[in-house]
Amino acid sequence: MRFWFGDTVTQFTSQITALVLPTLAILTLNITDFQLGILNALGFIAFPTLGLFAGVLLDRVKRKPVMILVNVVRIMTLATIPVTYLLGVLSLYQLYIVALFMGICTLFFDVGYQSYLPSLVDKENLVEGNQKLQVSASAAAIIGPSVASGLMGLIGAAMSVVADVIGFFVSVLMLISIRKPELKPEPHLPEGQGHFFTEMKEGIKVVTGNKLLWTQAGCTAMGNLGSNIFGVAILLYAYRVLGISESIIGIAFSIGAMGFMIGVIVSSTVTDRLGLGRATAVSSMASFGLLIVLLAGGGYSVIVIGIAYLVSGVGNPIYNINMVSLRQIITPNRLQGRMNATMRTIIWGTIPIGSFLGGVLSSSIGLVPTLVIGSLVAGCASLWVIFGPILKLRELPEPVQD
């Protein structure tokens, strides 16, 4: 419950920073399409470059202390934004550095938390645990963007970051207060024991040697590639073409995030009726709904963008709950960190590529064609599931033993 509470707080406050950074860059610093792509890419470049190292490290040490440390770093990093803004020295290069550091911290925290969760709950309760975390993420995605827009309109974008600083401080307190002992990961295999790169290779083989994990990685990576091509273009399109104000843009994302909540609510029902494999295939096809943004125009643009995100967002929690639970349940505890890090390296490694491509395409072929390309790439990710072994699964397999 303490872990869930701390995570819920940061899920809400992180929505503010997620909207503030690009808004500061576009409206305050007046950056180009290409520069926005670079800014977004830097926020995720740690996953393909440091992900495998993080996995080995988090299979050697207890995960909770690492999570506490990276949250402290996030507090100090974010605090620089309001300070430099008040001093009148805020620059694009500082936003680049903030995005880079926040991405590194997110990598270590996310790999740590997905590997830490199985030590808090029994494996048969992992689906319920992931559902609770998804409920928080969905609620935050619904309310957070509107709160972010309201704060930006009230106190300005730069000062709104203070809320996220407070959120990470609460998370640190909650993690420190957890008294349940965390077992240190068990010793590694005798061959190559203690050899960093041998352990890294073992973690890679866990994913590449398992068709269920590899297919999931391919689907999620392609979906992230397309959605981030789309993600760079949509804010530029909203601010510069549709003329939407920063004080109301969050409403669009709040409407869209209602799809996440709907997905969480119907996840169990959809999975029970269709089976795990078919439910995953259908949910991954929902990204085609992003094409609805092409109908935006006039006074209803915010609503149309919101509906596009709502339709595409319904599938995300259904997909995430089933796929995260699947990979946690078929992986031994001593390999959880390396498995999650390898998965994150692959599936989040396409995010900076997508962001970079989004900036390049937006500046070269235009915003509308970029939106179309991003939507189609994200939707076609479902082909990995449709033509792979996941489609045949009716339910989760039995948990593996260490």
23 is in which domain, residue-wise? 2-178+193-392
pLDDT at 130: 77
pLDDT at 323 exceeding the cut of 50: yes
d(CA 258, CA 135): 11
Could you read off the pLDDT of 70-96 as tens digits, one per residue? 999 999 999 999 999 999 999 999 999
pLDDT for the residue 370:
96
In a domain, 402, yes or no: no
Mean pLDDT over 384-388 rounds to: 91
What token pair was written down for 105? 């911290």
Residue with tokens 């203070």: 162
- Please indicate, yes or no, if residue 337 is contained in any of the structural domains: yes
Residue 195 has pLDDT above 70, yes or no: no
Residue 219 has pLDDT above 90, yes or no: yes
Q: Are 137 and 10 in contact (CB under 8 A)?
A: no
Among 86-95, 367-376, 393-402, the minimum mean pLDDT is found in 393-402
Give percent of the chain above pLDDT 70: 94
The answer to whether residue 185 sits within a structural domain is: no
Classify 397 as helix, strand or coil: coil
Residue 364's Cβ-count burial label (10 Å; 0-12, 13-18, 19+) is exposed
Q: Does a structural domain hold residue 398?
A: no
- Residue given tokens 């290409």 in the structure block: 34
Q: Is residue 56 part of a domain?
A: yes
What pLDDT score was predicted for residue 369? 96
Kindly list the distances between the CA atom of residue 196 and the CA atoms of 62, 338, 341, in Å, as whole numbers in the listed order.
17, 11, 14
DSSP string covering 163-188: HHHHHHHHHHHHHHH--S--PPPPPP
User: In 10 A of CB 398, how many CB atoms?
Assistant: 8
Rounded Cα distance, 43 and 359, in Å: 14
- Residue 174 forms part of a structural domain: yes
Q: What does pLDDT average to over the chain?
A: 86
CATH number at residue 20: 1.20.1250.20
How many residues would you count in the chain? 402
Q: What is the pLDDT of residues 248-272, one digit of tens each?
A: 888 888 888 888 888 888 888 998 8
Q: Give the span between the Cα atoms of 244 and 91, in whole angstroms.
A: 24
The band of 196, judged by pLDDT with boundaries at 50, 70 and 90, is low
Residue 128: which H helix or E strand, with range? helix 126-155
**Cβ atoms 74, 214 nearer than 8 A:** no
Nearest to 361 by CA among 226, 223, 218: 226
Q: What is the DSSP letter of 305?
A: H
Q: Are 55 and 346 spatial neighbours (Cβ–Cβ below 8 Å)?
A: no
What pLDDT score does 399 carry? Answer: 59
CA angle, residues 353, 321, 220, in degrees to nearest 5:
20
User: How far, in whole angstroms, is CA 28 from its chain's centroid?
Assistant: 26
Segment 285-319, tens digit of pLDDT: 999 999 999 998 888 899 999 999 999 989 988 99
The number of helix segments (H) and strand segments (E) in the chain equals 18, 0
CA angle 112, 36, 70 (to 5 degrees): 20
186 in a structural domain: no
* Residue 329 pLDDT grade (very low, low, confident, very high; cuts 50, 70, 90): confident
Count of CB atoms situated within 10 Å of the CB of 135: 18
d(CA 268, CA 275): 10
Predicted local distance difference test score (pLDDT) of residue 186: 62
State yes or no: pLDDT of 402 exceeds 60: no
Query: Based on the structure, what is the number of domains in the chain?
Result: 1
Q: Is residue 120 part of a domain?
A: yes
Query: pLDDT tens for residues 145-188?
Result: 888 888 888 888 889 899 999 999 999 999 999 888 776 666 55
**What stretch of H or E contains 321?**
helix 315-329
